[in-house]
Amino acid sequence: MFQNFQLLPHLTAEENVRLPLELAGRPAAAAARDWLARVGLAGRLQHTPRQLSGGEQQRVAIARAFAGAPAILFADEPTGNLDRATGAQIIDLLFQANQDAGTTLILVTHDEHLAARCQHRLRLEAGRLVEDSHAAAEQL
């Protein structure tokens, strides 16, 4: 998952989720609709990115990421382009989807509050590992 969503502007939300599945030769339509419903976008399937808010675009990106049932999901600054309130909603949704899918989620973030919710944290400073903590996730 990318910080700037990486949605194709001429495709609908459903098509953006379906495309990687179709390219991989996997059944796509039902999975795309299911994941878009899970992220609260069942009523926005036919909207293009320009018709969606930043938070809605990020939810499409989350649906696309989880629809492929990855064993590991990398998320680079998943709330970097969102306001604080929308970012908090997206993080709750991301952690819930992660729990539902049983995926290993690896986050890259500068947000200390987000990092505090993770079970295992590695902290880098100037390219060096300065912290390696295996803590129980804190719920904020």
Residue 137 domain flag = no
Which residue range forms the structural domain that includes residue 58?
13-109
d(CA 32, CA 28): 6
CATH number of the domain at 79, please. 3.40.50.300
Residue 86 domain flag = yes
Rounded to 10°, the helix 54-67/13-23 angle is: 20
Q: pLDDT tens across 41-59, in order? A: 999 999 999 999 888 998 8
Q: What is the average pLDDT across 132-139?
A: 61
Q: How many domains does the chain have?
A: 1
Taking Cα atoms as reference points, which of 77, 1, 10, 9 lies closest to residue 39? 1
Residue 121 domain flag = no
Residue 26 domain flag = yes
Side chain identity at residue 93, one-letter code:
L
- Tallying the residues shown for the chain, one arrives at 140
Kindly report the pTM of this predicted structure. 0.78
Using a 10 angstrom Cβ sphere, with 0-12 exposed, 13-18 middle and 19 or more buried, the burial of residue 86 is middle
